Structure 1
Amino acid sequence: MITLPPQFDHWFTQRGWSPHPHQVRMLARSDAPALMLIAPTGGGKTLAGFLPTLVELGAAPGPGLHTLYISPLKALAADMRRNLTAPIDEMGLAIRVEDRSGDTTQTRKKAQRADPPHILLTTPESLALLLSYEDAPRIFAGLKRVVVDELHALAESKRGDQLMLCLSRLQALCPDLRRVGLSATVEDPPALARFLAPHPTACAIIEADPGPDPDIAMLTTDNPPPWSGGGGRYAIREVLEEVAKHKTTLIFHNTRAQAEVFFHELWLANDAGLPVGIHHGSLALEQRKKVEAAMVAGQLRAVVCTGSLDLGLDWGDVDLVIQVGAPKNVKRLVQRIGRANHRYNAPSKALILPANRWEVIECHAAIEAVLAHDLDGDPRGPGPRDVLCQHILITASAAPFDADEVFAEVTTAGPYADLTRRDFDACLDFVATGGYALRAYDRWQRLMQRADGLWQLRDPRLAQQVRMNVGTIVDTDKLKVRMKGRSGASGGKPLGEVEERFAASLVPGDTFLMGGKIVRFESLREMEVQVSRDRGRKPKLAVFSGTKFSTSTQLSSRILDLLHRTPLPDLPRHTLDWIELQREVSQLPRAGRILVESFDHEDRPHTCIYGFAGKNAQQTLGLMVTRRMEELGLGPLGFVATDYATLIWSLSHLDNPAQALDATGLRDGLDGWLAENALMKRSFKGAATIAGLITRNLPGKRSSGRQATFSADILYDTLRKYDPDHLLLSITRDEAMRGLIGFDRIDGMLERTGGMIDHVHPGRVTPFAAPLFLEVGKVPVNGAGQETLMRAEADRLMIEAGLI
């Protein structure tokens, strides 16, 4: 057991500090094989994770790599280097700390491999790259500890799955390696501990005092929110007033597009000239770094941001967080709230601004959940097989391997603890041959088995290609945006990225927002969007690929509970009146049942299904129910969906909703619908890219997004026709069911309700259904209903022309 040496105790005392109890406990348990600390933001959890390393190296700073720090963001690694350098220098410790990411120069990376620092701060992708080199055993020979920061964030994505596979490889290279996980928001600590180390007894959990509850409320506005849409522009004036009253405010948005629009409107209304900035993942690195530096220097009063600032960076002067739009997820809201008052035992202050009437209810439910410490989170499924395929390629790039040994390693990774040998062998066969339908093509013959039974790359030159494509982040095809240089030359200031399909829709003179500025499209040169400044017209909206959140099932349950309380909670008068009117005209949705409303609007039958299953699932429900209505001859014409409901319009009423909402019928119709759906091709492209079937980056060139999509579509159609049981088609279906189409949410909804349906005929549009008529994203159904309307319109025109 390690205790705090006098040198460290003196350092704390000089600053008027004393170690927090959880930091002392982490030091005392530092010899544990795996340790997870759960501490609130500002609770010194990162220092707690590093204290054992600093103490050990302070006593005996031997050569070589001692501790590896993994964070989900490059900015966190750089920030951590600055934070660690201060105590190391002030205590005179002979400890070398360096960071390594995609921004590190090749010269520096080469030097780090030859002479690793004592502490290396990096990302999951950079670790995977290091493990792909043949000298990985030497690089990691003396590794004693790995510290994983923001573990909860990594556990929610494939980046975390890849990291756990890398840790299984590291553990094989360094059997005595100790794992440390750090996290602030955890809904199920034992499950996260199993993710970090699969054996329940292997990972000890230390929970710090959570500190005081946050000071959180809804932002009071003079005008009620709009009936639909998002963005919060109706409350720009109130937001500016809050910014003026605080030192530094972070204004969070759920999407990059909403952040751009809000920042532009904020800037136009900023008569006081308050210094404000914008930060999101599609902006150029230079601009993001500039904003981060200004924040650290205390030069900004507010930053409009997205999930790019959810994690990590220690900005003590942030004293207010404003969440614009319903957070959709309580855990995400808690994480964002924690960015304010980044100090232990100081309450964080936050305001939530609902973007529309439905979100008023959701925001109230989210605030209640935060104060009740009721975090949400969907259970993690098994480790994805496309990530495993990439890991096998990375392993082969480093050295020939024994399949039995790699299988044993992989099953020590938490997400893959239950992996069967059959599934592992299927992944190995795919990596080696491409699978049954593709094994005749040389380009997918990547591994060969030697006479001694070991597997190796068929061509050693393939290792470079593998390294160029490491990672599980599959960006939607994006193009760089750059200011047009003098005399039309390229090389102007980089601004960020937009999606390729958005760029393809532009013609010279079109304007759009980028970094809060209106820019004018000039040309597309060498796969770059060339723009100039434009201070005039209303801009088009750039399409950014950021994550589209769906309301969590736990938060949806709270909303349903809230609607049936007596009396109703303390909501704004306009919202209370809206709820009461819904009760009078129709009825309120309730837990354990599905509410279906049937009414006419503009002489057209409409059906509104309240499933509260999240946007993706409600969208899929619309597709599935209209498909069933088509089979029943009801002539569905289109639908629109929100997180809470799906509105369908048709030629005939759905008199028996149970026919369309039967669980067996929906599942039976799913496979045929999925096979032809564009979402499946999108999901296939992502899985094929991660698994290595589609190569985006090749030595000396990079394929465009359109080329990659074209290749993916051909491969998908080929495999469906000739090898329907192909591994990647199975992976694609699993991915789509869990993510893009949300059918698991539909399954959960049907299971919770047990087929119980409340079918009402209110006789007119209902208060809860009315906002859906204003939603964007209406989906037409091209079936018998549209054909009937076209025939009727043709007959009308012919009669008018005197031809009939």
Structure 2
Amino acid sequence: MPELDYVRESSTTEELMENLCQPVREWFKDRFPDFTDPQKMAIPQIMQGNHLLLCSPTGSGKTLTAFLTVIDDLVRRSLDGSLKDGVSCIYISPIKALANDIQKNLIGPLNEIRESYLPKRAKEIRVGLRTGDTSQKERDQILRNPPHILITTPESLALGLASKRFRPILAGLKWMIVDEMHSLVPTKRGTHLALSLALLDHVIPNPVQRIGISATMEPLDKVAEFLVASDASDSDSKKVKIAKISGARRLDLDILLPTPRFTSVPVKELLDYNVDVIKDLVEAHTTTLVFVNTRSMTETVVQKLRLAGLQGVEGHHGSMDKSIRLDVEQKL
């Protein structure tokens, strides 16, 4: 069982700024008014090299919290000429759409820092993506010219680790970030990921700092155990800092039932009722996400909403062609 230590104190803005290198500090000042509360609690722990669980509400800057120390370290090495080819950080996403989004959100800031705050001599910091959508050509490119930050999924990481050509690019790995941990830990995918993390410990010569992030994680001791269970480097590595920020966003939640007795109503009638409700909600809002439980139901609802006269309705599921799925994500 890992030793849990809840973070009680926060750093000041001045203290955090002082610990960032000048290019990253200037970029942050130009982009953000201040650090969020979760960032003031968690970033110092990451800078100190501690394993960390960050549990804070959606929209509180968790992703930047996890990556800022990584970016700062890579920029420092880019400046002094010590940045080598190879993966320094692995970011693990449970879904491909989130992985695609994180890649875009990383490339943008890194390009801004390079173009406006770094000298021309500084080496480019690269971000790579390896998921089920990644072509063989792109995977070969990752092996020939490894990114410094690799974004992947549990399944794709497992396939990579099974390859002798893939393992050497991880020799300099320093950080591993696991996002949306609540959706992985209690599932078979989480078990699969745990095996991959254990294998990583055998193929990487140095201990890797682990960062877990999620908006909802309970029980925290079990999540912490999942995060560091395979790390057998020394007893100190079992210590996990926990930065937990309460205060979820206010929700407007309605439960709409066509009838109290579902068994007495034909399925088609229930579906038509739901489509009518969805249509009204779509027309009343700018962006609407509709979740259903099967691919066929996705396509059925999309067709019915289009027939009802709605424009801009698109379906999204894992069996779609990659180009179509990415186009839908971009439109959203």
Do these two structures clear the TM 0.5 threshold for a shared fold by scoring above it?
yes
- Cα pair distance change 1:104/1:264, threshold 3 Å: closer
CA distance in 2, matches of 1:73, 1:239: 25
Matched residue, 1:250: 289
What's the offset of the Cα at 1:183? Answer: 1.2
1:413-441 deviation per Cα after TM superposition (whole angstroms, max 9, x unaligned): xxxxxxxxxxxxxxxxxxxxxxxxxxxxx
Residue 165 of structure 1: which of 195, 208, 215 is its match?
Answer: 195
- Cα pair distance change 1:138/1:282, threshold 3 Å: closer
What's the offset of the Cα at 1:217? Answer: 2.2
What's the offset of the Cα at 1:225? Answer: 5.8
User: What secondary structure is seen at the aligned counterpart in 2 of 1:279?
Assistant: coil
1:236-290 deviation per Cα after TM superposition (whole angstroms, max 9, x unaligned): 33322221111111112233333333333322222xx432112223333333223
Residue 160 of structure 2: which of 107, 111, 130 is its match?
Answer: 130
Q: Identify which of structures 1 and 2 has the higher relative contact order when contacts are C-alpha pairs closer than 8 Å and 6+ apart.
A: 2
User: What secondary structure is seen at the aligned counterpart in 2 of 1:214?
Assistant: coil
- Cα pair distance change 1:146/1:174, threshold 3 Å: farther
Any residues of structure 2 matched to 1:426-441 within 5 Å, and which?
A: none
- Cα pair distance change 1:169/1:50, threshold 3 Å: same
Matched residue, 2:232: none
**Is residue 57–residue 249 contact of structure 2 (8 Å, CA) maintained in 1?**
no
1:117-157 deviation per Cα after TM superposition (whole angstroms, max 9, x unaligned): 11111122222222223345522111111111112212232
Seq. identity, %: 36
**Is residue 39–residue 208 contact of structure 1 (8 Å, CA) maintained in 2?**
yes
CA distance in 2, matches of 1:240, 1:68: 41
* Structure 2 portions without partners, runs of 5+: 1-14, 119-123, 230-234
User: What secondary structure is seen at the aligned counterpart in 1 of 2:171?
Assistant: coil
Is 1:118 paired with 2:148?
yes
CA distance in 1, matches of 2:103, 2:93: 12
CA distance in 2, matches of 1:107, 1:238: 45
CA distance in 1, matches of 2:157, 2:41: 28
4+ runs of 1 displaced by more than 4 Å? 229-232
Any residues of structure 2 matched to 1:704-715 within 5 Å, and which?
A: none
Matched residue, 1:39: 56
Matched residue, 1:744: none
- Cα pair distance change 1:29/1:238, threshold 3 Å: same
Residue identity opposite 2:239 in structure 1:
A
- Cα pair distance change 1:286/1:195, threshold 3 Å: same
Any residues of structure 2 matched to 1:163-312 within 5 Å, and which?
A: 163-172=193-202, 173-198=204-229, 201-219=238-256, 224=259, 227-228=262-263, 232-270=271-309, 273-295=310-332
**Is residue 103–residue 127 contact of structure 2 (8 Å, CA) maintained in 1?**
yes
| More helix, by proportion | 2
Matched residue, 2:88: 66
Any residues of structure 2 matched to 1:655-666 within 5 Å, and which?
A: none
- Cα pair distance change 1:233/1:40, threshold 3 Å: farther
- Cα pair distance change 1:78/1:262, threshold 3 Å: closer
User: What secondary structure is seen at the aligned counterpart in 2 of 1:176?
Assistant: coil
TM-score, normalised to structure 1's length? 0.34
User: What secondary structure is seen at the aligned counterpart in 2 of 1:69?
Assistant: strand
Of structures 1 and 2, the larger Rg is shown by 1
- Cα pair distance change 1:115/1:188, threshold 3 Å: same
CA distance in 2, matches of 1:191, 1:116: 34
TM-score, normalised to structure 2's length? 0.78
What's the offset of the Cα at 1:47? Answer: 1.4
Any residues of structure 2 matched to 1:596-635 within 5 Å, and which?
A: none
What's the offset of the Cα at 1:33? Answer: 4.3
CA distance in 2, matches of 1:265, 1:129: 39
Matched residue, 2:12: none
What's the offset of the Cα at 1:205? Answer: 1.4
**Is residue 12–residue 19 contact of structure 1 (8 Å, CA) maintained in 2?**
no
What's the offset of the Cα at 1:6? Answer: 4.3
User: What secondary structure is seen at the aligned counterpart in 1 of 2:314?
Assistant: strand
CA distance in 2, matches of 1:19, 1:289: 32
Matched residue, 2:127: 97
1:574-596 deviation per Cα after TM superposition (whole angstroms, max 9, x unaligned): xxxxxxxxxxxxxxxxxxxxxxx
Is 1:141 paired with 2:171?
yes
User: What secondary structure is seen at the aligned counterpart in 2 of 1:248?
Assistant: coil
CA distance in 1, matches of 2:173, 2:125: 15
User: What secondary structure is seen at the aligned counterpart in 2 of 1:37?
Assistant: strand
CA distance in 2, matches of 1:135, 1:240: 51
| More strand, by proportion | 1
Matched residue, 2:10: none
User: What secondary structure is seen at the aligned counterpart in 2 of 1:29?
Assistant: helix
Any residues of structure 2 matched to 1:401-800 within 5 Å, and which?
A: none
1:443-500 deviation per Cα after TM superposition (whole angstroms, max 9, x unaligned): xxxxxxxxxxxxxxxxxxxxxxxxxxxxxxxxxxxxxxxxxxxxxxxxxxxxxxxxxx
**Is residue 71–residue 77 contact of structure 1 (8 Å, CA) maintained in 2?**
yes
* Structure 1 portions without partners, runs of 5+: 296-804
1:642-690 deviation per Cα after TM superposition (whole angstroms, max 9, x unaligned): xxxxxxxxxxxxxxxxxxxxxxxxxxxxxxxxxxxxxxxxxxxxxxxxx
- Cα pair distance change 1:136/1:239, threshold 3 Å: closer
**Is residue 240–residue 266 contact of structure 1 (8 Å, CA) maintained in 2?**
yes
User: What secondary structure is seen at the aligned counterpart in 2 of 1:206?
Assistant: strand
CA distance in 2, matches of 1:188, 1:195: 11
